[in-house]
Structures are given as C-alpha cells and as structure tokens.
Structure 1
Amino acid sequence: MIKRMGIFSLLVVFSFMSVFSVGSHAEASFEPNADTAILVDADTGKILYEKNVDQPLPPASMTKMMSEYLILEAVHNGEISWDQTVPISDYLAEMSHNQGLSNVMLRTDRDYTVKELYESVAIYSANASTMALAELIAGSTGQFVERMNEKGKELGLGKLLREEGEQYGIDNLEEIAAEDLGDFQFVNSTGLPNSLLNGNHPEGTGADDDNYMSARAAATLAFHLVNDFPEVLDTASIPEKVFQEGTSDAINMQNWNWMLEGTMYGDLDYAPVDGLKTGFTNAAGYCFTGTAEKDGQRLITVVMKADSEHERFTETERLMEYGFNSFSKQEIISANTDIEGYETIEVVRGKEDEVSVSTADSVSSVLPNGGEEEYSYSVELDGELLDEEGRLLAPIEEGQVIGTVTVEYTGGESYLQGDGADQRSVDLVANESVEKAGWFALMMRGIGGFFSGIWITVADTVRGWF
C-alpha cells in the first residue's frame, strides 16, 4: 500500500533497549588483507563491513554479473527462450578457440541453445558465449553495452564514469576512474579490456577502454541479481559440467569459484557458498563477488585486487565467517505491539472517542551479536485521516492503516540502497472499528459541551468569591 502523508504529522522519538540473543561479540579490529572489500546482508542490503569501497577498479569477469542479469531478464520478459538457438559469427567462433581466454569451443555450423551458452557463462565465464548472447538479445554488442549502462543506473550502481568525465572535459576512462568521478562503466559484455578484442570492441567504446566498478557498485549489482533472479544460484553453484558432451568439442567446465564443494581445490571448500562470480585480468588483479547462506542468513561479499587466486577466496571466507559469527537477524518490534505514547488515538465524530492501535507486523534488522544496543523509533500518522488538532476522523475500519512506525539504530548504519528505512518501517493499524456518530448524537454532544462550558465558568466564578 502507498500512503501519502499530509501536512500534519506527529513525530515523537522514544529510546528503548533491544536485548540481543547471546552470542559471540563482533571482532573489534577485523581487517581483511585485500585492498578493497565489502560485506553486505543480502536480504536488506545493509553494509556490515567496508574498506575502500568507492574507488572504481577494473572488475574483470565480474562484469558478467550484469550480462547475466540482462540474460535472465530477457528470458523472464519473453525476449528470448532457453531452448532458442543462438547464431555464432565467424569472429566469435575464432575467438572461442583462443586458449588464452576462458572459452568453450563454438562453431558456425553447430546449434547452441541459450541455456547451453548461459551455463558456460555462469559456470566457466566463457567470453565468446557471453558476446553471442549479447548480440542475440540486443542486436549488437554495442547496443547491449548501452543496456548494461542504463540498467546500472536503474539498479542504483551509482554515477557513470564517462558522463561524469564529460562534465570535467576528460575523455579517458582510466583518468576519470583515477579522479574517482563515478562508480561504474561498462564498455563490453565480458569484462575483458577492449584491447584484447582485436579491434572488434563494441561500437561507441574505445579500443583501449576497460570496464570499471567500485566494490559498492559490484555489491549492489550482486544484491539485485540474487534477489531479482535467485535462480542464478542454481547455475552458479554447479561445480563442474561438460559442455557439448559427446562431441569433439566437449570440454569439462570447472567452475572458477573454487569455494564450491566438488571443484578441483578441496582446501578452499566453504560449504555455505553457492555463487557468484570471479574475475581476473592483469589490470584488475584477482577479484571475487561471493554469496553464501547459513542458518537462513545470506551474505554478499566483494574482494578486489587480491594478490592471488587463493587469497581472493581465503579473504572471502574470512569476511563471511566474520559476518556469520558477528551478526544475526533480530526482531526489534513484534507484530501487534502497542507503541508507548500511542496505545490509543483520539477520535472525533465517532461513536467512541478513541481507538486502540498497534503494529501490523514485526520489524527486524541484522544486528551485531552480544550485549545491548540502543534504538529509537518515530511514529508518523497519516495527515489525511486527521483533523487540525491531530485527531482521527471517524469512521475508522478495523485494520485500517493510520500511520507508520520507523525504527532507527542509533549506533549508525548504512545500506546499499539509501538509508534502508523501508526495511525498518511498519504500518500502525486500528485494532477495532469506530463508526461515525449520527447527527443527533453529535448535536447532543455539542449541547452537552455547551452547558458543560457554562457550568465550568460559573464554578470558576463562585470559587473566586471565596
């Protein structure tokens, strides 16, 4: 339900204590080794840890998270279908045979379905497959890149580097990124530097351009990907699969996410992990956007510019363990709770002169474990339901929304999307109906009020004689 608050509002702040379940206390000095890292609650987008998260860096194949988002969106919208065949150009067939890049073998005279190529993207980070799907969806890789950047703005990844650079008269993306003038920029669908595309870079981009994302932007993209299309994890969690099994081009696609159980590096297994996307180029270093679920809580992490393949995973595990051990989802306000100072609201023109109210639902948040934390809450009543003195106007229906209760953690918090207030607000509803009083009852109340006023005046006058 969408409510429009009127001019009149009541805003009262009360402090109260929320006692958490007993658990380990958050580490006081947790510090990852990676240059850039972020830890996010996947349900609310609340940031639990951050380090150098706003500097745009080359994300390498983590760029493919946006390509995957647009592929899944196109399937969902009916633009393409999983069993649809995908044409392979001579250039993509040639590129797919480049063993220096992550690829599966493609040929112009064979049929490949959207599902086959998508699996090679999500599991094996296949570059030519990504470009083939981009061309299928948008008509060209250049038009697909335009979609990527528009979707990035729509999802709240931040400001486009190129647009910000134009305001300052800077054309080179690398210089713009160094000035930290934006948050992201996509120049192709794969995450490879354009210089590796042998002159076949998307129209509208430069031959030496590279993709950029800040860790915050990468986490925001992952947040939307796993929430808007949770089926992405069904494929991203596959440890290995054979592409074109039974043909001369068969290749065993070993997932580059070595934290998954069943991959080639058993010492890096971390059971809760089920995604999401690795990346590496010389400019980007070793990157990884990970996600894991444990005891009903899902986390998202981003590690960028790690020194080695192993370090990007060991640092991710440290971040995740810190998150799972130090934070948990706690209920702050229960459903059907009476809010102090708002147990009842005065009603005018009704058969009753007040109505009791309570919260329609509970309010929960991901909080540090252990000890007590102070919260405040504010109550705002819908001004369209009130008279000039702040009283509810009858009639009132049972269950009718009359306002909202918003909880704020006074210890300070930040979210990927704004201030996260929508996750910490709950409707305030009427517990019973109040019918509108008839004209006779209202008239008698008026008469009674008139004579009551006279009696009070007389009593005050008489009292003054003595």
Structure 2
Amino acid sequence: MKRNKLKTAGVSCVAAAVIWTFGSMPVQAAEPDIEASASIMIDADTGQIVYEDNTEELLSAASMSKMMTEYIVNKAVEEGDISWNDEVAISEKVRELSLQTNLSNVPLRQDETYTVKELYEAMAIYSANGATIALAEHIEGNEAAFADRMNQQAEELGMEKYEFVNATGLNNSTMMGYAPEGSGKSAENMMSANDTALLAYHLLDEYPEVLDVAGVPKKTFNEDSEESIEMINWNKMLPGLQQEYEGVDGLKTGTTDLAGNAFTGTIEQDGNRYISVVMNAKTKMSRFTETAKLYDYADRELESQTLVEKGAEIGRDSSIEVENGQEENIQVAAGETLELISSENKEPEYEIAVSKNEAPIEKGEEVGTVVVTNSEASYIQGRANRTEVPLVAAEAVEKRGWFGNMVQNIGNLFSGL
C-alpha cells in the first residue's frame, strides 16, 4: 500500500490549533535488543524511523554497497545510457576475479558475451563480484571512474557518511592487485546504518522492480553452458531458504572480515513495508535472527495511524478569511492523508498555518499547511518534523470587482461611524 509522501511548505501565520482524539494511550512497547554494532528500521513509504541504534557510526558496508551499483544500473537504463539487452564484454580483470571461488562469483569467459540483465541478476541474487565489476566497466569504462560516480550519486541522494572505493564492497586487498586505481590497498566501502537505509529507501522508491530480482531465492546462471551455476540467494530469509520469514522479498547481504555479517532487508506486512539494516552481527545466520527481531516487533507492536485524512475538514471551523474576494470566507481541507507508524495511539495536536488568503483562489489550491505539533517522529532524510500536509481550498473564490469594492468600502465606512 503506497501512502502519499508528505510535503514541506512555507507558512506566514498560524491561524488555529486544535486537537483530534484517537483513543486511549497504552503503555509504550519495549523495543527489541539487537545484537549488532548498528541497526535501524524505517517505513519504506515515508522514511519514518521506527527503530534505531548507533546509526551514525561509519562502518564497513561490504556487499550491501552493491545496492548503489544496482541503483546506478537502473538509472542508466532509465536514462537510455544502456539497455538490459546490451552485450557486455569481459575484461581480463573481470575474468580473473570471477574465477576466485573464495569470493562470491559466477565464472565469466572472455570468449563469451553476457547481457546487462544476466550480470545484474548475478549481482542482485548471488552477489557475484566479477559480474558487478563487468557492469561498472560497461557503464563508466573502468571501476575507478564508477567508484567516483558512486560517491557522486551518494551525495545527490543526501547521504552524509559514506566512502565508496569500488563497485563490489570487497576489501581491495582481496582483489588480486586489481583494485581500482587511486584507492587504498586495503580500503573498503563504508556507510553508516542511517545512510545504508537511505540508499535502500531511494532504491525501492525509485526502482521498486529491483525486488523482482533481489527476491528470487534460486536461479541458474548461464543455464545452457558447461559453466552454468546455480545461484542460491545469500538472503536466507527468502521463501524456501533456511531462515524463511513471511513477507521478506529483499534486499542485500554483506560479509567481509571488517564488516562482519551485515544485512539490509525489506518486508511487507499488514499493508506496510519496512526497510531494516543490521551491521556487524556475530554470524552469517544471526544477522537474520536479529533482523527477525525487528520484524517481530513491527508485526506485534507497530501500526499505521491516520492523523489527517485527505479532504477532511480541520477542526470545528474549517474556513479561512479571504481578502478582496467575492466571499469573505472559504472552506479549507487537508490536501493529503498523513499517516504515522507508532506503537501507541496518541491524541495529536495540530496547527493550521495560512500562507495565502487573497483572492482569486482556485478550488484545490494550496493555501497553507496542517502541522502535527506533538509528534516525536523522526525521518531518514534527517528532518526533525515532516508531519505536515498541505491545506487546500475546498472551494473557489473570485476576486471582487470595482462594484464589490465600492460596496465593501461603504460598509466599512458605516461600520466605522
């Protein structure tokens, strides 16, 4: 269920403050204790943070950084720079790295060509490192230039704590001397849990079809070849795998000596989609059991509450005065629905702030904002308060003509006397 995103609008004056009641306030539920260096869970539709622990520390992201490569591939296809059916040539570097069985890989040959789609599937399902570098070289010519693009894209997405040195998330020391030029010999991709969640948020928001691939439990790569290989997804929470959890359909695991065991997951339950990040869990399997704690918490304690309904009147007197209008007042209403994920039913307080009240005003035109003032919600974008929606005119009003102004002036004269 996709909910309307909240908009931010400037205001000029506060017109009113009123309270809506949603029922009693139960005791707030205890949050889960996640055994990892950092963890976070957000609402995938709005970016609202519903759980967080040590989210700003810069940690190794390992192969979770392939989400950035996935984002750039999808963007390049969308903008027409490449297509899914492009044939990708395999460089000597990619060939050599793809044969390293100590790394996650599918074998790639230089006397064969592979499509962007085939390599993308190997990356998203099996975290294939050689396939990932092949895509980077196809898009930017070499991996060093692609790493620069990853950093540039991170800045554009609003990420704050990150460093990308290669396309895969491998430690450069494991790349057989093929590490991108200009990067440190033992450098590794780094992100905070907050920025990892932000990256996943943008990936799912802009390219939700990524789950059609990332959610595949098993698939055979290069099926008609002697070098075919069955790719079993490293995300063991997917259907049919060891730690299956109902509703999980993505997103990306990561493991290196520095990163430990990490996992960015996503789940849809009861009409809500969540994104979770667990970094540096104790074991490969515990990253999933710790993630399950977050999903259990969401399922047991969290629900989506409608604070403001689109088209609803606001307060007892849902009207504003209009200057120079044929009518002195017009009805106003909420322009969007505002929902909040919470473990408790609150009695929200909100203010109406008017930014325009001079005629002419068209029906549906934004004339201010409705702001929930007592919300403690925080959002992945880093804004302290996004709990607001537009205030719109429920009816149109035309500007007064000269005769209307004359009548108004006469009325004001007698009123003054």
Give the alignment's TM-score, normalised by structure 1: 0.83
The 3-state SS of whatever aligns with 1:150 is helix
The 3-state SS of whatever aligns with 1:335 is coil
Deviation at residue 426 of structure 1 after TM alignment: 2.2
What corresponds to 1:14 in structure 2?
Answer: 17
What corresponds to 1:238 in structure 2?
Answer: 216
Work out the percentage of aligned pairs sharing the same amino acid: 44
Q: Which runs of 5+ in 1 are unaligned?
A: 159-182, 386-391, 455-466
Change in Cα spacing, 1:192 to 1:273, as seen in structure 2 (3 Å) is: same
Which aligned pairs between 1:78-97 and structure 2 lie closer than 5 A? 78-97=80-99
Deviation at residue 211 of structure 1 after TM alignment: 1.3
Q: Which runs of 5+ in 2 are unaligned?
A: 1-5
- Please give the alpha-carbon distance, in whole angstroms, between the structure 2 residues aligned to 1:283 and 1:317: 23
What corresponds to 1:439 in structure 2?
Answer: 402
Query: Structure 1 residue 39 and structure 2 residue 36: aligned?
Result: no
The 3-state SS of whatever aligns with 1:445 is helix
- Please give the alpha-carbon distance, in whole angstroms, between the structure 1 residues aligned to 2:141 and 2:115: 17
Which aligned pairs between 1:48-197 and structure 2 lie closer than 5 A? 48-158=50-160, 183-197=161-175
Task: Using the TM superposition, name which of 436-445 and 84-93 deviates more.
Answer: 436-445
Change in Cα spacing, 1:101 to 1:355, as seen in structure 2 (3 Å) is: same
- Please give the alpha-carbon distance, in whole angstroms, between the structure 1 residues aligned to 2:7 and 2:334: 17
C-alpha offsets along residues 85-123 of structure 1, whole Å, 9 cap, x if unaligned? 111112211211111111001110011111111100001
What corresponds to 2:340 in structure 1?
Answer: 365
Pairing partner for 2:367 from 371, 389, 402: 402
Deviation at residue 244 of structure 1 after TM alignment: 1.0
C-alpha offsets along residues 39-74 of structure 1, whole Å, 9 cap, x if unaligned? 111111111111111111111111111111111111
Task: Using the TM superposition, name which of 89-98 and 183-192 deviates more.
Answer: 89-98
The 8 Å contact of residues 336 and 390 in structure 2, kept in 1 or not, is answered as yes
Which aligned pairs between 1:66-465 and structure 2 lie closer than 5 A? 66-158=68-160, 183-263=161-241, 265=242, 268-340=243-315, 343-369=318-344, 372-382=345-355, 385=356, 392-410=357-375, 412-419=376-383, 421-422=385-386, 424-454=387-417
Change in Cα spacing, 1:28 to 1:137, as seen in structure 2 (3 Å) is: same
Aligned residues: 412
The 3-state SS of whatever aligns with 2:40 is strand
- Please give the alpha-carbon distance, in whole angstroms, between the structure 1 residues aligned to 2:349 and 2:10: 21
Deviation at residue 2 of structure 1 after TM alignment: 9.4
Change in Cα spacing, 1:449 to 1:226, as seen in structure 2 (3 Å) is: closer
The 3-state SS of whatever aligns with 2:114 is coil
- Please give the alpha-carbon distance, in whole angstroms, between the structure 2 residues aligned to 1:394 and 1:64: 52
- Matched residue type, 1:407: V
- Matched residue type, 1:404: T
The 8 Å contact of residues 9 and 390 in structure 2, kept in 1 or not, is answered as no
Deviation at residue 356 of structure 1 after TM alignment: 2.1
The 8 Å contact of residues 29 and 343 in structure 2, kept in 1 or not, is answered as no
- Matched residue type, 1:69: Y
Change in Cα spacing, 1:2 to 1:260, as seen in structure 2 (3 Å) is: closer
The 3-state SS of whatever aligns with 1:339 is coil
- Please give the alpha-carbon distance, in whole angstroms, between the structure 1 residues aligned to 2:268 and 2:152: 30
- Matched residue type, 1:321: D
Change in Cα spacing, 1:323 to 1:453, as seen in structure 2 (3 Å) is: same
Change in Cα spacing, 1:341 to 1:131, as seen in structure 2 (3 Å) is: same
- Please give the alpha-carbon distance, in whole angstroms, between the structure 1 residues aligned to 2:14 and 2:407: 34
The 8 Å contact of residues 46 and 420 in structure 1, kept in 2 or not, is answered as no
Give the number of the structure whose alpha-carbon radius of gyration is greater. Answer: 1
Change in Cα spacing, 1:333 to 1:4, as seen in structure 2 (3 Å) is: closer
Deviation at residue 336 of structure 1 after TM alignment: 2.7
The 3-state SS of whatever aligns with 1:393 is coil
What corresponds to 1:176 in structure 2?
Answer: none
The 3-state SS of whatever aligns with 2:36 is coil
- Please give the alpha-carbon distance, in whole angstroms, between the structure 1 residues aligned to 2:99 and 2:143: 19
Deviation at residue 342 of structure 1 after TM alignment: 5.2
Higher helix content, 1 or 2: 1
- Please give the alpha-carbon distance, in whole angstroms, between the structure 2 residues aligned to 1:186 and 1:452: 71
Change in Cα spacing, 1:345 to 1:188, as seen in structure 2 (3 Å) is: same
